Amino acid sequence: MANITSQGLHIRVNMMSTSSLHPCLRRMLGDRGGNFGIMTAILLPVLVGAAGLAIDFSNAILSKRELQEATDAGALAAATALANGTAPTTAAAETIAKEFVSGQMANYVGTEAMNSIKAGTSVNVNASTTATSKSYKITVNTSYTIATTPFMGVLGYKTMNIGASSSTSSGTNDTKTALSMELVLDQSGSMGDNTTTCATYSGKKCKTYVTKIDALKQAADALFTALNTADPDHSLVRTGAYSYNNGLIYNTQKTQIKSMSGMAWGTATTATYVSGITASGGTDATEPMRQATLSIAKASDGSDVETQAHVAKGNRIVSRYIILMTDGEMTGNTGEWQQSFDQNVRDQCDATKTAGIKIFSVAFMAPDKGKQLLQYCASPGGNYYEAETMEKLVASFTSIAKEATKALTLLTN
């Protein structure tokens, strides 16, 4: 008999000799085969929990990445909205950020998790203002819980918490990017031809069609309207125009170019000039492109007329544009395409781009050689336009105006 003490419990055990037991009972008591079952019972919860941990860890990494992308999108959206004025207040920016986070996570989670995300998202907007600029720092924090697999439940973990944080900055600067734009417009004889747009009807039959020259004037009006909308005070935009047929049109003494309007603030002077052009003659854009380039190119020392005019208005950054438009091919006054004239225009377009001037080109119901020339002349990046109708021509000029005026307010992100 022996006394065994364990954690304060005293157990009295009668010990007897196994030799007095039945042989079958003695073999059973000596068998150690049950150890595997005991060890399995002990280790099975640990093994199951480890398997669950691997699965849930993978799920957590995926959920973390999705949530991080959502908070990144939310912070960027809020910053952009504040910088471009879409969000007039910080409260509006906070709402935008939260909507972006929840909207993006809606692709991955259910309703219950969505409610948790909305409740767990916080947005902090810090605004800093100086005399000339305003900057914003946006921080988005969010978290939610995900349910674990039943395997992890064995270890007592029913849920896991997933969190993410993003921070970004943006700002607006009161420095304006102004622009100077010259229009180089075809007024050759073919511009007197009709378009497919009807001007007046007699019953259901078209009585008169809009001519190309009139379509051009409507397109120019759309351009001027868009420029005026972007610069209502006429303190940022300067425009001018050259029109051409087989070159520039001079007075009878050959001492003054008649087919031009000088550069002026706003669009009124240029609009008045364009409204009066008429169609006649051949086609050669070389000299008008050269003159337009000389008119707005920037001098290395800043002594050019356009730079000085803008400086007087406080404009330190000036973008320079030329719109080159034709409905034909370079024929001069011969009536047939001339390779030498075509090449001269190409060379001048190269010189214009080298001078830092961006060229928009518009082919209006033009033949293939005219289209090929204007495709060559356009500055890279989708600045070539092709119009086969008056409506498309108007849309092209409007699009050019919108593209040019994007830079009127300098935005830093």
**Model pTM above 0.75:** no
8 A C-beta contact, residue 362 and residue 323: yes
| Whether residue 120 has pLDDT greater than 70 | yes
pLDDT tens by residue, 213-269: 999 999 999 999 999 998 999 999 999 999 999 999 998 888 889 999 999 999 999
Separation between Cα atoms, residue 184 and residue 198, nearest integer Å: 26
Beta strands in 280-333 (DSSP E): 317-326
Residues 363-380, mean pLDDT to the nearest whole number: 98
Residues 128-145, mean pLDDT to the nearest whole number: 77
Separation between Cα atoms, residue 288 and residue 408, nearest integer Å: 27
Tokens of 88: 């007039």
Please tell me the chain's helix, strand, coil percentages from 3-state DSSP, rounded to the nearest 5: 45, 30, 25
Instruction: Choose the most confident range, by mean pLDDT, from 133-142, 145-154, 258-267.
Output: 258-267
Q: How confident is the model at residue 2 (pLDDT cuts 50, 70, 90)?
A: very low
Share above pLDDT 70 across residues of the chain, in percent, rounded to a whole number: 79
Cα 279 to chain centroid, rounded:
40
More confident residue, 194 or 69: 194
Separation between Cα atoms, residue 171 and residue 182, nearest integer Å: 32
Q: Give the count of beta carbons closer than 10 Å to the beta carbon of residue 118.
A: 15
Which structural domains are found in the chain, ordered by start?
38-157 (no CATH), 175-412 (3.40.50.410)
| Whether residue 3 has pLDDT greater than 50 | no
Please report the pLDDT score of residue 348 as a whole number: 98
Stated as kind and residue range, the H or E segment containing 201 is strand 194-202
Q: In terms of DSSP bridges, do strands 384-387 and 2-6 run parallel, antiparallel, or are they unpaired?
A: unpaired
For residue 203, the 8-state DSSP code is T
pLDDT tens by residue, 351-360: 999 999 999 9
Q: What one-character-per-residue DSSP string does 122-178 give?
A: EEEEEEEE-SSEEEEEEEEEEEEEEEPPHHHHTTT--EEEEEEEEEEEEEEEEEEEE
Q: How confident is the model at residue 62 (pLDDT cuts 50, 70, 90)?
A: confident
